[in-house]
Amino acid sequence: MSLHVLGRHCTWAILLLLAATLPALAQTPQAAASATRSYTVFLRGTPVGREDLTVRSDASGLTISSQSMLGAPLNVVMRKGEVKYRPDLTPASLTLDVTINQKNVTLRTTFENGSAVSEGNDAGFPIRTTTPIQPRTFVFPDVFFGAIEALGRQLAVRNGLPDDLNAFIAPGVDVALRVKDASRGRVSTSTSTIDVYRYELVFSNSTGELTANLTTELSGGLISFQLPSQAFEVIREDLTTSTSRTMVFANPTDEPASILSSGFTLIGTITRPRGTSPTTKLPAIVLLGGSGAVERDGYVGGVPILGQLAGALADAGFVVVRYDRRGEGQSGGRSESATLGDYAEDLRVAVKWLSDRKDVDPKRIAVLGHSEAAWVAMLAASRDSRIAAVVSIAAPSQTGAEVVLDQQLMALSRLNLSPVEREEKIVLQKRIQAAVLSGTGWEGVPADLRRQADTPWFQSLLAYDPAKVLEKVKQPMLFVHGQLDKQIAVTNLERLSDTARKVSKSKTIDVVSVRGVNHLLVPAVTGEISEYSTLTDRNVSRDVKMAIGDWLTRTLPAK
């Protein structure tokens, strides 16, 4: 979906950039209080600027004000952003003075009698709109992300999940806002642990839905705000270091793990079976998530895929390790220079770390990869005989270049483009991929697209050929795929397993196709990505867990 804001030139900045694709609970404020905090803004994992937020609560209500400076590609300087709420948390006014891509925008909105009246100037074009709004609406000004704290404060005092929220996107759009899920959690740092609320939000209008994640202190103070589909995040500055982590999932027997790699440390979690002796040598497995699940729990679309698999496999008798990918979460290293080969080496380090433990049988260590990480698991197994078995989940069967092009074609099919426009984009995509692989031919490619594509990781992804890797794999392999997977179609299952049988030296190749399960390994109806935000069951399918646990138990029996 697209949420339109600020006149002619601005469509909720982050959405425009990447779109190439409650009733309030009345309460009397307590004694006057003021807090100032700073937030770092990330785009695609790279910091692009900061926002300084001041929140003041007194007898007149709640005032949230901010200044920010965001660099390329957002290019935003907000000299003043301020939204005021009355004591019952109904909006009173909004003021914006901002420069976006060197164009000045000023806006003043007042909220009275069921209407939002906006006046201002957008790069020389006057703004004069009157928009009907619901009696109690939360204000989400363009590029003023800290304003979402008002929602966090309201949700913190609600009992249950409100189902009739609305959001006003300045200067003249009112959209529905739904709280899909809410849970308690913790954010840990090297010195403290903060109890938090975590909310999954869904914005919706006639053009579609947009999912966002909001994390707050128990009082409602803003911790972070994420737009996962846009790779965009605003996070409190003191929690942006590698020593902090939002704990969104935990198993009863989870313990922290530190794995020393080449010049840095991988930080993760080890999960042991309940009631076992620390000296009993158990089978073990290392779990690794795909490109969109770089932290240890594999949290995608509201599903902690790896965290839930770890609990199930520990119950099956395995010591299970999962870790934050290098340069992400609490792990050290540099992600911007890492390749699939580097991630495979990190996986080998984790296997070596397990093999040295007294509670692990070094001859019964398996690796499991989901989606892109299945390729990493195969690559590690092709290089390391200490790996005794490989579990591949939802892995592509084509080369990386073919997979990326197919995914681009699928994305273009959903856009309202003419045949000529579609063909131009296909030609550009092919040119970019050829340039990434060869290192030449960048002429005519926009500079911002080259910056995104010309990376070691993308080059290694495009060059990856599973058939060539499988030629060197000797270990038993299990291939698992959800029949409703629309990100990596289930047709890849048969092609990949057939390739393994033809070219690998493995004597055991098994295949499991799971009915009614999507790419996230949870029950679904259509399996489409657009369905993720509406899923009611966020638990990895029992059939998937049992299939993997039973196969590993048979394949790595105690001797």
Q: Which amino acid is at 463?
A: A
Query: 222 has which bridge partners?
Result: 216
Q: Which stretches of 226-329 are DSSP H helices?
A: 305-315
Helices 456-463, 400-413: inter-axial angle, 10-degree rounding: 100
Q: Which helix (H) or strand (E) holds 546?
A: helix 542-555
Q: Which helix (H) or strand (E) holds 62?
A: strand 61-70
pLDDT at residue 221 in the model: 92
Kindly report which listed range (160-164, 372-376, 484-488) carries the lowest average pLDDT score: 160-164
- Going by pLDDT thresholds of 50, 70 and 90, the confidence category of residue 12 is very low
Joined tokens for residue 43? 């785009």
Joined tokens for residue 552? 């590993």
Kindly report which listed range (115-129, 347-361, 382-396, 501-515) carries the lowest average pLDDT score: 115-129
161, pLDDT greater than 60: no
pLDDT at residue 4 in the model: 32
pLDDT at residue 470 in the model: 98
State how far the alpha carbon of 405 is from the alpha carbons of 135, 401, 426, 432, 438, in Å.
47, 6, 8, 11, 17
- Going by pLDDT thresholds of 50, 70 and 90, the confidence category of residue 190 is low
DSSP structural state of residue 238: G
Kindly report which listed range (226-235, 338-347, 393-402) carries the lowest average pLDDT score: 226-235
Q: Please write down the HEC assignment for all residues of 421-469.
A: HHHHHHHHHHHHHHHHHHCCCCCCCCHHHHHHHCCHHHHHHHHCCHHHH
417, pLDDT greater than 50: yes
Please give the average per-residue pLDDT across 182-204, as a whole number: 79
pLDDT at residue 19 in the model: 30
Which of 67-71, 293-297, 393-397, 525-529 holds the top average pLDDT? Answer: 393-397
Joined tokens for residue 522? 């949870």
Please give the average per-residue pLDDT across 521-540, as a whole number: 90
In terms of Cα–Cα distance, which of 317, 309, 319 is closest to 288?
309
pLDDT at residue 26 in the model: 30
Please give the average per-residue pLDDT across 132-158, as a whole number: 84
pLDDT at residue 529 in the model: 85
Q: Which helix (H) or strand (E) holds 103?
A: strand 103-112
Which of 42-56, 83-97, 189-203, 236-250 holds the top average pLDDT? Answer: 83-97
pLDDT at residue 21 in the model: 29
548, pLDDT greater than 70: yes
Please give the average per-residue pLDDT across 483-509, as a whole number: 96
Contact between residue 147 and residue 225 where contact means Cβ atoms under 8 Å apart: no
> Which domains are assigned to the chain?
13-239 (no CATH), 249-399+465-555 (3.40.50.1820), 401-459 (no CATH)
In terms of Cα–Cα distance, which of 490, 480, 474, 473 is closest to 549?
480
- Going by pLDDT thresholds of 50, 70 and 90, the confidence category of residue 45 is low
Question: How far is it, in rounded angstroms, from Cα 385 to Cα 469?
Answer: 14
Contact between residue 48 and residue 68 where contact means Cβ atoms under 8 Å apart: no
Contact between residue 530 and residue 207 where contact means Cβ atoms under 8 Å apart: no
pLDDT at residue 348 in the model: 97
- Average pLDDT of the chain, as a whole number: 86
Contact between residue 36 and residue 52 where contact means Cβ atoms under 8 Å apart: yes
Choice between 362 and 193, residue whose per-residue pLDDT is larger? 362
Dihedral angle sign, alpha carbons of residues 444, 447, 449, 450 = positive
Choice between 182 and 358, residue whose per-residue pLDDT is larger? 358
pLDDT at residue 53 in the model: 93
In terms of Cα–Cα distance, which of 23, 52, 25, 20 is closest to 36?
52
Question: How far is it, in rounded angstroms, from Cα 290 to Cα 369?
Answer: 7
Phi and psi, residue 178, nearest 5°: -125, 140
